[in-house]
Amino acid sequence: MTRTRKTPEAEAEADAIVVGGGPAGLLAALLLAQGGVATVLVAPPAPEDHRTTGLLAGSVAILERAGIWPALLPAASPMRAIRLIDDGGRRISGPEVVFRAAEIGRKAFGHNIANRELVAALAEAAVETPNLRRVSDTAAEIRIGIGGVTVRTGAGETLRGRLVVGADGRGSAVRAAAGIGVRRWGYDQAALVTTLRHARGHDDISTEIHTAAGPFTLVPLGDRRSSLVWVTRPAEAAALAALDDAALARAIGRRAEPILGAVTLDGPRQVFPLSGLAARRLAVPRAALVGEAAHALPPIGAQGLNLGFRDAAAIAEVAGEARRTGADPGAAAVTARYEARRRGDVASRTTGVDLLNRSLLTDAAPALALRALALQAVKRVAPLRRLLMREGIAPGGV
């Protein structure tokens, strides 16, 4: 709960200070507090976000353990199957492949939910969680020392802790204060995001149509509603966003109608340029990075926020273990354990999504043929298909 401080120079002590109030930051703060780590969350209210997130089974399990999932379930739509379709206009196209959750003994791969619903539920849980205080302000200054960290808010309040968790996005101030470098790269792509109503049911199937400009993805979002992420060239995304609702619905319908029937818009549209980011380190003594402060991926395969949720769970686990044994949660040995736990997952997902996206953009015959052969193998070889499904939703059995 936000508390107003009477004096701007007042100081507060905490085991952990989380900077950033998006889904990954809110979840990290909640899990830390639930694990016995006295936590302060420093973040102004989140801006309005009309996007949705496909929460895969691993993320749902984390939210279940935290006791938050029951509040989210009524607003979430199951994804019981994932269909991949190669655009027929390519020189070499792979076969249509359908992954079904039932094949690996699950009811669903995960659930799609509006980001505003997700953030609202996490924020409400934060208010009710003991051991967690929220300061609805910016982190104006962050200092990381040998013995602890200091965060000064925009209003002048000074917060002191033993660990700072950066969940403050691509331009992370925590990452900069920790002296952690970053690798960035761009794509000649942008994503148009909106919500649709459609004449036919989606049957809880998420569909990705792979085109030479990027994936056109339809994800279930309630009865005869779907969220759309249309990745294309920036100029086309801008032109689409400039259309009126009827014209944009017709443009979307040219790709979506064979699957969903006639479509109409059911929400505002947003356009986001695509780029990637990978921090050189995930942690140093006294500081750890989660979510987009550590890594940012194109919106392919629902990997980005799910990766951030696994970050949040891991930092809470290692800091909670330290607190229970009387150790310092920001000590070098603790942050090194976090780095070790997360490095492989982050590196493999970052590389995998980048390669998949770039494979869609090439028109070279050898690359197209190799991709078509890979899809054919996935379609025909059941053990390979099941392995990909299990690792895709819950890597390493998370």
pLDDT tens digits, 56-82 = 999 999 999 999 999 999 999 999 999
pLDDT band at residue 90 under the 50/70/90 scheme: low
User: Which pLDDT does position 377 carry in this prediction?
Assistant: 81
pLDDT above 60 (res 299): yes
Going along the chain from its start, the domains and CATH numbers come out as 11-55+116-183+275-361 (3.50.50.60)
What per-residue confidence (pLDDT) applies to 374?
A: 78
**Displacement of CA 367 from its chain's centroid (Å):** 28
Q: What are phi and psi of 337, to 5 degrees?
A: -65, -40
Pairing of β 182-198 and β 263-265: antiparallel
| Identity at 5, one-letter amino acid code | R
Q: What pTM, to 2 d.p., does this model score?
A: 0.90
Q: For all residues of the chain together, what is the average pLDDT?
A: 90
Model confidence at 12, in pLDDT bands (50, 70, 90)?
low
Give yes or no for a contact between 82 and 43, defined as CB atoms under 8 angstroms apart. no
pLDDT on residue 345: 93
Q: Between 114 and 383, where is the model more confident?
A: 114
Phi, psi of 188 (to 5 degrees): -85, 60
Q: What number is the average pLDDT over the span 364-383? A: 76
Is it the case that residue 301 has pLDDT exceeding 70?
no
Of the CA atoms within 13 Å of residue 82, those in its CB half-sphere come to 24
Q: DSSP for 334-390, please give it.
A: HHHHHHHHHHHHHHHHHHHHHHHHHHHH---HHHHHHHHHHHHHHHH-HHHHHHHHH
| pLDDT over 60 (residue 1) | no
pLDDT digits (tens, 9 = 90+) for 163-172: 999 999 999 9
pLDDT at residue 159 greater than cutoff 80: yes
Question: What is the pLDDT, as a whole number, of residue 140?
Answer: 96
Res 389 pLDDT > 90: no
Rounded Cα–Cα distance for residues 75 and 122 (Å):
13
